Amino acid sequence: MKSRVLKWALIICVLSFSIILFLISPIFNVSEIIITGNIIVAESEVRERMEISYTTNILFYNQAAARRRIIENHYIAEVIFTRSFPNRLYVQVWERRTAAYIQQSPGTFLYIDDQGRVLEIRSTTSQTLPIVEGLNFTHFALGEILDVPDSTAFNIVTQYSQLIYRHGLANRVTHINVSDTENTRILFGYVEFNVGGVSDSETKVRIIKGILEEMPEPELARGFVDLRDINSERGEFFFVILT
């Protein structure tokens, strides 16, 4: 009886050892990494933060630790790894995008996403995006959402930032002014739209887009449109020319 138990114990040990040797063999070393979804963040940076060498085993690779390192870049919201055996690793990246700028002080711009999160602090702007004016906040830190006491003003900024991007107007809007939340102003150069508050924001942005499309040269125009009450019986919106 004892000999039979020892025999089976030896067989199990040999099999276990063989399996372990197989799993840690070079066949499972990561040889191909396929990264998708990154536009802002360079692929080289993602690879560097993954910390994968030619001896990294795909089965024992610490994905959780790699994820933490990768999302230390504030432009990356999430990353998911998918193994394809024996040695291919897929990396899906979801990025945040800069939705607007806030001039925190002369020569200092906060790059914020459409959730109000600070992505970067730079001395200049890098592309044509809205500059937010009139938003007062008590605290900011890289990678964190702005601490804004006035939730109404904050909600207006995030809501309109999302809609402006969705309707393809992000690179045309120059300013969003929330100094007076009942008279929020969206500026396209010298053309100003008073959208009031956040109510009916989707419709208001659609109207703005339609008006701009009908204007022959909106970049050269000077004037304003009152969109505070889009449910009025008139159903018309007049472009008042400024001289």
Residue 12: is its pLDDT beyond 70? no
pLDDT digits (tens, 9 = 90+) for 47-78: 999 999 989 999 999 999 999 999 999 999 99
pLDDT digits (tens, 9 = 90+) for 141-177: 999 999 999 999 999 999 999 999 999 999 999 999 9
Domains contained in the chain, CATH given: 9-95 (3.10.20.310), 100-241 (3.40.50)
pLDDT digits (tens, 9 = 90+) for 172-209: 999 999 999 999 999 998 999 999 999 999 999 999 99
Query: Which residues are within 8 A (CB) of 184 and not within 5 positions of it... i.e. 6 or more apart?
Result: 156, 160, 176, 177, 178, 194, 195, 196, 197, 198
Banded model confidence at residue 216, pLDDT cuts 50, 70, 90: confident
Rounded Cα distance between 82 and 149, Å, is: 41
Average pLDDT over residues 92-120: 95
Q: Are 160 and 169 in contact (CB under 8 A)?
A: no
pLDDT digits (tens, 9 = 90+) for 217-242: 877 788 889 999 887 655 566 666 65
Banded model confidence at residue 15, pLDDT cuts 50, 70, 90: low
Q: Are 115 and 126 in contact (CB under 8 A)?
A: no
Q: In what order do the strands lie in the sheet containing 108-112?
A: 118-122, 108-112, 100-105, 131-133, 175-177, 184-188, 191-196, 223-226, 239-241
- 10 Å Cβ neighbour count for 161? 24
| DSSP alpha helix (H) spans, the chain | 2-23, 43-50, 63-70, 151-166, 201-214
The pLDDT assigned to 82 comes to: 97
Report the SS3 class of residue 82: strand
Q: Are 225 and 237 in contact (CB under 8 A)?
A: yes
Cis peptide before 26 (omega within 30 of 0): no
pTM, 2 dp:
0.85
- CB-neighbour burial class of residue 65 (10 A; exposed 0-12, middle 13-18, buried 19+): exposed
DSSP string, 11-63: HHHHHHHHHHHHHTSGGGB--EEEEES-SSS-HHHHHHHHT--TT-BTTT--H
Q: Is the dihedral of CA 122, 127, 130, 133 positive or negative?
A: positive
The pLDDT assigned to 173 comes to: 95
End-to-end CA distance of the chain: 106
Radius of gyration (Cα) for the chain, nearest Å?
27
The pLDDT assigned to 27 comes to: 85
